[in-house]
C-alpha cells in the first residue's frame, strides 16, 4: 500500500503540474495576443503622428505664405499712401503757386476782390 499511496501522490503532483502548465500556456497566449494588439496600435499611432506632422508642416508653410502676403500688402499700402500724400502736397504746392501768380497778374483788382472775399 505504501507504493500505491506514493503512486497516487505522484499522479496528483503530475495532474497539478499539467493543470498549472496549461493555465500558464493560456495566460501566455492571452498576453501574446494583447502584445500584438498593442504593437499594431503603436504602428497606427506612429503613422497618425507622421501624417499629422506632415499636415502641420503644410499648414505652417501656408500660414507663412499668408503672413508674407499680408506683409507685402501692408508695405504696398504704406508706399501707396506715401506717394498719395506726396502727390497731394505737390498739388497743394502747385495750386498755391498758381494762386500767387494769379494775384500778381491781377494787380490791384485781384487784391480788392481778395479783400472783399476776406471781409465777407
Please indicate, yes or no, if residue 90 is contained in any of the structural domains.
yes
Q: Cβ–Cβ contacts within 10 Å for residue 114, how many? A: 14
Please indicate, yes or no, if residue 80 is contained in any of the structural domains.
yes
- What is residue 104's predicted lDDT score, i.e. its pLDDT? 61
- Helices (H) and strands (E) counted in the chain, each on its own, are 1, 0
Total domains in the fold of the chain: 1
| Residue 80 structural domain | 1-95
The tens digit of pLDDT for each residue in 13-71 reads 999 999 999 999 999 999 999 999 999 999 999 999 999 999 999 999 999 999 999 99
Please indicate, yes or no, if residue 57 is contained in any of the structural domains.
yes
- The Cα–Cα gap between 15 and 11 comes to 6
Please indicate, yes or no, if residue 118 is contained in any of the structural domains.
no
Please indicate, yes or no, if residue 7 is contained in any of the structural domains.
yes
Q: What pTM does this model have?
A: 0.48
Please indicate, yes or no, if residue 15 is contained in any of the structural domains.
yes
Please indicate, yes or no, if residue 40 is contained in any of the structural domains.
yes
The tens digit of pLDDT for each residue in 67-89 reads 999 999 998 888 878 777 776 66
- The Cα–Cα gap between 56 and 5 comes to 75
Please indicate, yes or no, if residue 112 is contained in any of the structural domains.
no
Q: Are 73 and 66 in contact (CB under 8 A)?
A: no
- The Cα–Cα gap between 13 and 69 comes to 82
Amino acid at each position: 500500500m505504501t507504493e500505491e499511496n506514493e503512486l497516487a501522490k505522484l499522479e496528483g503532483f503530475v495532474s497539478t503540474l499539467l493543470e498549472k502548465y496549461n493555465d500558464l500556456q493560456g495566460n501566455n497566449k492571452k498576453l501574446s495576443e494583447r502584445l500584438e494588439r498593442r504593437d499594431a496600435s503603436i504602428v497606427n499611432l506612429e503613422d497618425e503622428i507622421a501624417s499629422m506632422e506632415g499636415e502641420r508642416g503644410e499648414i505652417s508653410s501656408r500660414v507663412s505664405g499668408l503672413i508674407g502676403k499680408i506683409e507685402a500688402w501692408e508695405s504696398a499700402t504704406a508706399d501707396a499712401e506715401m506717394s498719395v500724400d506726396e502727390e497731394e502736397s505737390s498739388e497743394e504746392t502747385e495750386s498755391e503757386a498758381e494762386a500767387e501768380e494769379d494775384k500778381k497778374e491781377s494787380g490791384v483788382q485781384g487784391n480788392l476782390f481778395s479783400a472783399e472775399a476776406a471781409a465777407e
